[in-house]
Structure 1
């Protein structure tokens, strides 16, 4: 959904947001309003305020569970790194951790769970015939498969049975 939910956005600064409009002349009421508006733009020293209950209501319990280890670690590192740096490092560490888990999962799958003659399912990985052009070593290309029974073998001949 759009940020304004289909309603055209409107600025609260009014016509005095533009310097040109202010130079054309402002009434005393507009000056007072602008002075108050500028004062309201200054944040208090304790802002932004982190409200634990608001965070808890906005996030999924599963997400809070898997984020907790890195949150604890980088909360402890805030005095050494600083708030902004700790938040950035926590974000980068989380993303790199997810990428590493993905790479290791794919590696494990293809190493131990690939398709062979013992399984019906799984991804079957086929290697294509290399391109060997005239004049290159190995031309004409001869396949390692010498007999028709070598095709569709699916590592049966390499089994210890």
Structure 2
């Protein structure tokens, strides 16, 4: 959901936002309003305020559960490195974890779910014949497959059955 819920945002600055408009002339009411508006832009020394209950209500329990390990690391590193650098390390650690999990998942899939003669599914990984150019050893390339049954074998001949 957008911040304005589909309604076009309206500026609270009014016509005195632009310096050109202010130079044209301001009424006393506009001057007082502008003075108050500039005072309101100054933050208190304790702002922004971190409210723990707000974040607990905003982030659902499942999300809090999977964020907990990196939050512990972040909280341990914050006093040592500072908030911004600890947040950067937390972000990078999370992304590297996702990448490592993806690589392990792909490795597992190709190791245990390959396409062979016993299964219908799985990705079939086939090797192309090597490129051998004239003048290189092994030219012209001759395939090791001699019989017609060697093609589309899918591991049947090397099966222990």
Calculate the TM-score normalised by the size of structure 2. Answer: 0.86
Give the CA RMSD over aligned residues: 2.0
**Residue number in structure 1 paired with 2:155:** 155
Once the two structures are TM-superposed, the CA of residue 3 in structure 1 deviates from its matched residue by 4.1
Which residue of structure 2 lines up, in the alignment, with residue 73 of structure 1? Answer: 73
Equivalent in the alignment of 1:60: 60
Aligned length, in residue pairs? 160
2:119 matched to 1:119? yes
Report runs of 4+ in structure 1 exceeding 6 Å deviation: none
TM-score, normalized by length of structure 1? 0.86
Range with bigger deviation, 121-130 or 29-38 = 121-130
Give unmatched runs, 5+ long, in structure 1. none
1:12–1:155 CA distance, 2 compared to 1 (3 A): same
- Shifted more, 28-37 versus 50-59: the winner is 50-59
Shift of 1:95: 0.9
CA deviations 1:54-100 (Å, max 9, x no partner) are 22233232222111001011111110010111111111111111011
Distance 2:131 2:35 in 1: 75
Unaligned runs of 5+ in 2: none
Shift of 1:12: 0.9
Q: Work out the CA distance in 2 between the residues paired with 1:35 and 1:126.
A: 74
